[in-house]
Amino acid sequence: MVHLNCLPPSFEPRVSDHMPQIIDMIKQIVDNGYAYRVESDVFFSVEKFPDYGQLSGRKLDDNRAGERVAVDSRKRNPADFALWKSAKEGEPFWESPWGPGRPGWHIECSAMSTAYLGHAFDIHGGGMDLVFPHHENEIAQSCAACKQSNISYWIHNGFVTVDSEKMSKSLGNFFTIRQVIDLYHPLALRLFLMGTHYRSPINYSDVLLESASERIFYIYQTLHDCENVLSQHDKGLQDSIPPDTLNVINKFHNDFLASVSDDLHTPVVLAALSDPLKTINDLLHTRKGKKQTMRMESVAALEKIIRNVLSVLGLMPTSYSEALQQLREMALKRAKLTEDQILQKIEERTEARKNKDYEKSDAIRKDLAVVGIALMDSPNGTSWRPAIPLPLQEQQVAAT
């Protein structure tokens, strides 16, 4: 999570440390008339809570008992759910007013969130599969314990699919973040994840991750070029910038605010990065751009707004040069090549071009492109950068 630039939680509570709060909340629900005891178990009575189904849109008649667990004939309604379960042999248990046992599946979340955030708070997260029954039951029991209980925003994320199939251990298409970031930069993975709206399912595939990796290399390379040029012109920059640059900055800023305000629509923000990045590259590398008045002022202002947005998105590396080096190293690992081997290929290709052996020159370029290494020729010589491997590029074209 640290590698992915995720902020640490303020609290990471354990259920076993909050048994008094859980038991107190169940007692409150019982006292308020929303739950009943059967032997040493306590069940929530959904019929006593008229708003049951408000989150999922389900009606009580729609709920089919027994889909996840066996139906308990002692319940007044098959949809009633356990707040406290009596102890079973071999399971951990705690003492309670109803006898030894343990909390039901849902009550721990209500009790612990109340302990740290209060009865009403802004954001509650979770996967789409938790909307019903888990979050629906959480709302019911929290409101039964305290009428002021309220969540302002429910944030439910979509599933990860692999090559359009749901990721699962049973299908054998299951892997961990650690396995992914062994081959791809963590911030390339973060960019990939943010490229789909969080509520939508996201399809994981090598081509999409390669694409994200190439994109983040381009972003950091552009900003690294900015840094290098600005370090030579850090004095004497004016406060104003040309109208054309100001228009690009204002449009990007407005697109950013509108998109993140629209249910965190990160894919639109990432797409909006294209214009300011292109403007920077034009100013740095094209003949026309180099002639622009107040060129350095424009570059500095564009770099600043992009840096600010990347910081908000958690996509800002410790340093551009370090991130670029890491991206190169991971590209080499995926290509199963060393940098010395690539430099040797570049030398062979340069020699072939000198000898007008263009067939050999093209073959070397293509061999490297197949494994995700792109060669770039310039007046200063040939350099290399990570790229989407050629077979995956062809696969992308075929798919579209």
Please check the confidence at residue 373 and state whether its pLDDT lies above 90: yes
Rounded CA-CA distance 43/209 in Å is: 46
CATH topology of domain 2-157: Rossmann fold (3.40.50)
Q: What CATH number was assigned to the domain covering residues 176-320?
A: 1.10.730.10
Please check the confidence at residue 227 and state whether its pLDDT lies above 70: yes
What integer pLDDT is reported at residue 167 of this predicted model?
Answer: 83
- Residues contacting residue 84 through CB under 8 Å, at least 6 positions apart: 23, 26, 40, 41, 42, 96, 98, 101, 102, 103, 104, 107
Under the banding of pLDDT at 50, 70 and 90, the label for residue 244 is: very high
Residues of the chain with CATH 3.40.50.620: 2-157
What integer pLDDT is reported at residue 164 of this predicted model?
Answer: 77
Q: Bridge-partner residues for 374, per DSSP?
A: 385
What integer pLDDT is reported at residue 113 of this predicted model?
Answer: 97
For the chain, where are the alpha helices, taking DSSP H only?
Answer: 19-31, 107-117, 136-145, 177-180, 186-194, 206-231, 243-261, 266-272, 274-285, 287-290, 295-313, 320-335, 339-354, 358-370, 390-399
Rounded CA-CA distance 222/164 in Å is: 33
pTM score: 0.92
Report, as an integer, the average pLDDT of 216-226: 98
- 219, 317 contact by CB (below 8 A): no
Under the banding of pLDDT at 50, 70 and 90, the label for residue 398 is: confident
Residues of the chain with CATH 1.10.730.10: 176-320
pLDDT one-digit tens code per residue, 24-82: 999 999 999 999 999 999 999 999 999 999 999 998 776 554 455 567 889 999 999 99
pLDDT one-digit tens code per residue, 291-322: 999 999 999 999 999 999 999 999 999 999 99
- Residues contacting residue 11 through CB under 8 Å, at least 6 positions apart: 116
